[in-house]
């Protein structure tokens, strides 16, 4: 008699554990959302991928259509070779444009695909030739400061370049980039 | 005189080291013996189920209650810091990743060592002190197959189940604090969590961790009990050692496992 109650409790225990695992998989994890199904792989070369990581999303029009596979380095062209696993349901023209974007200002980086107008579609193993590199924030800021400094020199040769540099820092650089 | 004291110090240090290594070897031998003679604990699965009841089901209350509070505290603390950066919606990710990757397996293992490990050590130590194990051997019943192995497999089965429950209940506790109490948007809470918690890299790795902790904790508890001097003092010391050694082993193993998992 006692044995059966123990069996019952252990059964409940294991069932609870399985339910929790199911709950983790469905509610917490990405098992349901990242269900890509069959994929085909295309590659894209970038001069700079910034902080792009394997398994980062590949989006088109904001919808996740695939994931970044592995990221390699081409020692001949000194470029990053990124392989993209795209869902078989979505076909993209041959002249699709691949950009590296950042989600938010400091968020993770992802690849955005912009479809072109070509008649033929990308196949497994194809290469996307038109790419745009990741925006490196430091580069952008230093470019901005540099242009600001030269601007200041043009206006009045009297103003010391250090001062205009300080001006540039005072004004929010991101506001200016927006303009 | 000083030289004599120094000599004694060194010899004690060496004896301690040799003793530790001897115990490590004996523990490894017991582990091997347990694996070899664990056929019976599957053929007579009732034995194992009985032990799952005592180590797993009886630990449910402490595990679930602590998971609930750990989750709630995580949400409170996480919100406090995250809102400074204006990203309080990420609270769900923080709670889920912390629980699934680290706190679930580790805290469960620590509680398991305190709740079930000590019970195993005391039980086996007392069995040895009252010569029950010797009596079994006299009757040609292997105490390792009959007593040790079922408890080992019960621990190995119970730990991942408990750790998974810990993570799930902790996340529910975090949800209760974050959404109804603080007022984070429920949709953002779950969707951010789903976007950032990976089934394989986070959840399955956590379950694997707890499996390893289950082997380590149960084996340490069994060995300490099996190896305890058959006196009241010996059993009490063995019980203490179980908690200390299991906790250290869990934290050390956690670092090793994590460093492998992050590198991948």
CA distance B157 to chain A (A): 9
Mean pLDDT of A44-70: 85
* Partners of residue A100 on adjacent β-strands: A111
Q: Does A23 touch chain B (CB under 8 A)?
A: yes
The rounded distance, in Å, linking the Cα atoms of A59 and A42 is 14
CA distances from A127 to A46, A122, A158, B253 (A): 12, 8, 53, 44
The rounded distance, in Å, linking the Cα atoms of B126 and B132 is 8
**Predicted ipTM?**
0.79
Query: What is the reported pLDDT for A3?
Result: 65
Above 50 in pLDDT, residue B258? yes
Q: Does A15 touch chain B (CB under 8 A)?
A: no
Nearest residue on chain B to A25, alpha-carbon basis: B199
Query: What is the reported pLDDT for A106?
Result: 66
Same domain, A66 and A114: yes
Chain A / chain B CB contacts < 8 angstroms: 79
Of A16, A25, A28, the CB nearest to B165: A16
Mean pLDDT of A44-54: 85
**Largest Cα–Cα distance of chain A, in whole Å?**
99
Q: Do A13 and B190 touch (CB under 8 A)?
A: no
Query: What is the reported pLDDT for A132?
Result: 84
| Residues 6+ positions from A101 with CB-CB distance below 8 Å | A109, A110, A111, A112
Angle between helix B60-82 and B104-112 (nearest 10): 140
Contact indicator for B185, B89 with CB cutoff of 8 Å: yes
Mean pLDDT of B100-118: 95
Query: Considering chain B, what percentage of its residues have pLDDT values greater than 70?
Result: 99
**A13 interaction partners in chain B (CB closer than 8 Å):** 52-53, 56-57, 60, 158, 161
In total, chain B counts a number of residues equal to 264
Query: What is the reported pLDDT for A129?
Result: 84
Name which of B262, B153, B245, B254 is nearest B210 in CA terms: B254
Query: What is the reported pLDDT for B212?
Result: 96
CB neighbourhood size of B172 (10 A)? 18
**A21 interaction partners in chain B (CB closer than 8 Å):** 164, 203, 207
**A3 interaction partners in chain B (CB closer than 8 Å):** 46, 50
Contact indicator for B229, B130 with CB cutoff of 8 Å: no
Residue B69 is encoded by which pair of tokens?
């509070």
Residue-number span of the structural domain to which A165 is assigned: 137-178
Query: What is the reported pLDDT for A31?
Result: 65
CA distance A51 to chain B (A): 16
Name which of B71, B37, B24, B28 is nearest B173 in CA terms: B71
Query: What is the reported pLDDT for B2?
Result: 86
Is the full-model pTM beyond 0.90?
A: no
Tens of pLDDT, residues B152-210: 999 999 999 999 999 999 999 999 999 999 988 888 888 888 888 888 888 999 999 99
**A62 interaction partners in chain B (CB closer than 8 Å):** none
- In chain B, the N- to C-terminal Cα span, in Å, equals 57
CB neighbourhood size of B92 (10 A)? 30
Residue A37 is encoded by which pair of tokens?
């199904």
Nearest residue on chain B to A13, alpha-carbon basis: B57
Q: Do A10 and B46 touch (CB under 8 A)?
A: no
Same domain, A79 and A148: no
Same domain, A104 and A66: yes
Query: What is the reported pLDDT for B264?
Result: 53
Same domain, A7 and A58: no
What DSSP letter does each residue of B211-242 carry, written as one string? Answer: HHHHHHHHHHHHHHHHHS-SSHHHHHHHHHHH
Tens of pLDDT, residues B48-101: 999 999 999 999 999 999 999 999 999 999 999 998 888 888 899 999 999 999
Domain ranges of chain B: 45-263
> Does residue A151 or residue A156 have the better pLDDT?
A151
CA distances from B63 to B55, B60, B71 (A): 12, 5, 12
Residue B116 is encoded by which pair of tokens?
């079930």
Same domain, A147 and A162: yes
Question: In total, how many domains does chain A have?
Answer: 3
Query: What is the reported pLDDT for B160?
Result: 95
Identify the residue among A2, A10, A55, A56 best suited for mutation to test binding to B, counting B beta carbons within 10 A and taking the highest. Answer: A10
Nearest residue on chain B to A54, alpha-carbon basis: B264
Tens of pLDDT, residues B29-43: 999 999 998 888 888
Angle between helix B149-176 and B118-129 (nearest 10): 160
CA distance B22 to chain A (A): 37
Same domain, A100 and A120: yes
């Amino acid at each position: 008699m006692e044995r059966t109650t123990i069996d019952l409790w252990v059964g409940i225990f294991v069932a609870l554990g399985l339910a929790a695992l199911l709950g983790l998989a469905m509610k917490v994890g990405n098992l349901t959302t990242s269900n890509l199904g069959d994929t085909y792989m295309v590659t894209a070369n970038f001069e700079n991928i910034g902080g792009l990581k394997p398994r980062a999303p590949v989006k088109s029009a904001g919808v996740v259509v695939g994931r970044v596979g592995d990221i390699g380095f081409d020692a001949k062209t000194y470029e990053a070779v990124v392989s993209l696993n795209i869902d078989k349901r979505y076909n993209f023209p041959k002249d699709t444009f691949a950009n590296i974007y950042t989600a938010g200002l400091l968020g993770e980086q992802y690849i955005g695909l912009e479809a072109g107008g070509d008649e033929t579609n990308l196949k497994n193993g194809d290469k996307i030739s038109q790419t745009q590199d990741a925006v490196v924030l430091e580069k952008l800021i230093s470019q901005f400061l540099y242009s600001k400094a030269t601007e200041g020199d043009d206006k009045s040769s009297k103003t010391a370049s250090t001062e205009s540099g300080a001006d540039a820092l005072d004004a929010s650089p991101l506001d200016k980039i927006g303009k | 005189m000083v030289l004599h004291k120094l000599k004694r110090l060194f010899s004690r240090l060496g004896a301690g080291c040799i003793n530790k290594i001897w115990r490590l070897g004996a523990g490894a031998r017991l582990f091997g013996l347990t694996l070899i003679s664990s056929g019976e604990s599957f053929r007579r699965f009732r034995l194992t189920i009985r032990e799952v009841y005592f180590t797993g089901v009886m630990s449910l209350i402490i595990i679930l209650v602590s998971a609930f509070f750990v989750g709630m505290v995580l949400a409170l603390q996480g919100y406090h810091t995250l809102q400074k950066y204006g990203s309080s919606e990420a609270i769900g990710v923080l709670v889920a990743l912390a629980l699934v990757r680290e706190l679930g397996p580790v805290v469960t293992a620590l509680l398991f060592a305190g709740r079930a490990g000590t019970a195993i050590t005391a039980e086996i130590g007392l069995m040895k002190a009252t010569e029950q194990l010797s009596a079994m051997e006299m009757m040609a019943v292997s105490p390792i197959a009959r007593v040790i192995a079922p408890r080992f497999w019960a621990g190995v089965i119970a730990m991942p189940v408990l750790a998974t429950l810990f993570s799930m209940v902790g996340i529910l506790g975090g949800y209760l604090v974050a959404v109804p109490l603080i007022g984070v948007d429920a949709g953002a809470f779950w969707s951010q969590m789903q976007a950032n918690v990976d089934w394989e890299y986070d959840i399955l790795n956590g379950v694997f961790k707890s499996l390893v902790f289950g082997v380590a904790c149960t084996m340490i508890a069994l060995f300490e009990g099996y190896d305890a001097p058959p006196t009241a003092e010996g059993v009490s010391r063995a019980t203490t050692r179980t908690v200390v050694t299991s906790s250290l082993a869990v934290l050390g193993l956690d670092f090793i496992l994590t460093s492998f998992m992050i590198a991948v």
